[in-house]
Homo-oligomer: A and B are copies of this chain.
Amino acid sequence: MPESHPAPERFPVTVDVVALTVRDGELNVLLITRLIEPFRGKLALPGGFVLAGEDLLEAAGRELAEETGVEHLPGHLEQLGSYGPKGRDPRGDVLTVAHLLLAPDFPVLAAGSDAEQAAWYPVAEVPELAFDHARILDDALERAKAKLEYSPLGAAFCGEEFTIAQLRAVYEAVWGTRLDPRNFHRKATGTPGFLEEAGRMTTGDAGRPAALFRLAPEARPTAGQPTRAVLNPPLMRPRD
């Protein structure tokens, strides 16, 4: 790796997080409003500088917790990719490592008046973003769509237990399609290593009560480890 004698260049390194959730059938992304230049007043992805002695995922989790006021983040956090360092910040070269959070809907605390306010925005109506965050968001959406096809991570958008219909709503929101409830039910319950039955749902929902499911043990993250589990065969999104 290193071999050259001149002192290596050093770069400021940030982590950004594309946090996605599904609220009333729509895919939402968490954004903050910038209070300082550059891009003051614009929306941006939550994130911040990596501190000495921190690892990337750690930093991403910390920044997200700080900016949402949420102690323990729900859902699944993974690295998306790195961008830069050239020409993405007008103040100079900054390398950013983008991350992706797939999470059930969680409330964002109101920030103090001097803090950047984080809030959920439907991805369909996201206005212009600061820096190269539009591109990062694009990549994140594509990654999320792909993840749903071949991994059990659609369930990361749901709570511990969920109905097939709730899971289907996730797929529909992320993919932006409608899926046949009957075929989806067959496929989701029929894929080995994906779901496991739990109890019963009664609630006051209209219609027949639905069975509750949870992730099968093989598909659950073990001790913080990401889950390499794979949906086989995959649950492919319709392409025309």
Contacts and interface: CB of A to CB of B under 8 A. Distances in A.
Interface in A14-52: 14, 16, 34-36, 44-45, 47-52
A233 B236 contact: yes
A1 B16 contact: yes
A56 to B, nearest CB: 6
Contacts of A58: 86
A180 interface: no
A127 interface: no
A175 to B, nearest CB: 14
A166 interface: no
Interface residues of A, number: 51
A234 interface: yes
Interface stretch (A2-10, A100-108, A153-161): A2-10
A9 B56 contact: no
A84 B236 CA distance: 34
Nearest to A15: B1
B9 A11 contact: no
Interface string A79-100: 1011111100000010111000
A55 interface: yes
Given A13-B9, A232-B236, A86 B53 contact: yes
A11 B11 contact: yes
A71 interface: no
Contact of A49 (B9, B56, B96): B9
A224 B150 CA distance: 27
A2 B35 CA distance: 10
Contacts of A8: 12, 14, 49
Contacts of A142: 228
B11 A50 contact: yes
9 contacts: A1-B96, A3-B35, A8-B49, A9-B51, A13-B13, A53-B86, A56-B82, A56-B85, A79-B82
Interface of A: 1-4, 8-14, 16, 34-36, 44-45, 47-56, 58, 79, 81-86, 93, 95-97, 116, 130-131, 142, 150, 228, 230, 232-234, 236, 239
